[in-house]
Amino acid sequence: MNDEFSQNYTQIGLKISYYRKLKGFTQETLASNMGVATSFIGQIEAPNIYKPISLDTLFRIAKALDVEPYKFLKFE
């Protein structure tokens, strides 16, 4: 496993969590809207789990949350 970008994936997961809560969604709601397991969303958002995701998944999350995808990739 290459963790060169693990910190970036952690930041993406935290941003997904932030926008999900801002939208008023639970992990279960987001998972249901995407047709995935709640545990999958939990793994993406968990800061202590290294869970790389594809761009397709990122785009699906962005669509479900009605957020521009670039907002998940803007690291400060």
Residue 67 is assigned to a structural domain of this protein: yes
Residue 45 is assigned to a structural domain of this protein: yes
- Structural domains counted in the chain: 1
What secondary structure does DSSP assign to 31-50, as a single string? HHHHTS-HHHHHHHH-TTS-
pLDDT of residue 39: 97
Residue 68 is assigned to a structural domain of this protein: yes
Residue 47 is assigned to a structural domain of this protein: yes
Residue 1 has pLDDT above 70, yes or no: no
- Residues 6+ positions from 50 with CB-CB distance below 8 Å: 1, 3, 6, 9, 10
For the chain, give percent helix, strand, coil, nearest 5.
Answer: 65, 0, 35
Residue 6 is assigned to a structural domain of this protein: no
Residue 5 is assigned to a structural domain of this protein: no
Helices 38-45 and 27-34: crossing angle in degrees, nearest 10, is 120
Residue 25 is assigned to a structural domain of this protein: yes
pTM (two decimals): 0.91
pLDDT digits (tens, 9 = 90+) for 7-38: 999 999 999 999 999 999 999 999 999 999 99
- Domain limits at 19? 13-73
Residue 38 is assigned to a structural domain of this protein: yes
